[in-house]
């Protein structure tokens, strides 16, 4: 297990310690959890942006309205037969 040290002013230290205590967490567990959550959120944002970018370039994607029209046409055509 690694140890990472950093410096805080007294106000930030007190804020972090009090907040971690209010969540029934150690300072170490609290800081670890918010660091990991922040990284995961950032990765999720990157994956979302990539998916949006790729979907704009995909000619096979259709909107929900287009899908609804296709399904209506499909259902109506087959119910007439």
| DSSP letters for 18-62 | HHHHHTT--HHHHHHHHHHHHHHHHHHHHHHHHHHHHHHT-TT--
pLDDT in tens, 13-55: 999 999 999 999 999 999 999 999 999 999 999 999 988 887 7
Closest CA relative to residue 15, chosen from 6, 4, 27, 24: 27
* DSSP character at residue 11: H
pLDDT interval class at 80 (50, 70, 90): low
What mean pLDDT do residues 75-81 have? 62
pLDDT in tens, 46-68: 999 988 887 777 777 778 888 88
């Amino acid at each position: 297990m690694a140890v990472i040290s950093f410096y805080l002013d007294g106000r930030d230290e007190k804020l972090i310690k009090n907040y971690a205590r209010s969540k029934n967490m150690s300072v170490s567990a609290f800081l670890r959890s918010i660091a990991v959550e922040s990284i995961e959120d950032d990765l999720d944002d990157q994956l979302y942006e990539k998916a949006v970018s790729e979907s704009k370039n995909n000619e096979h994607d259709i909107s929900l309205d287009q899908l609804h029209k296709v399904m209506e046409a499909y259902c109506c055509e087959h119910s007439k037969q």
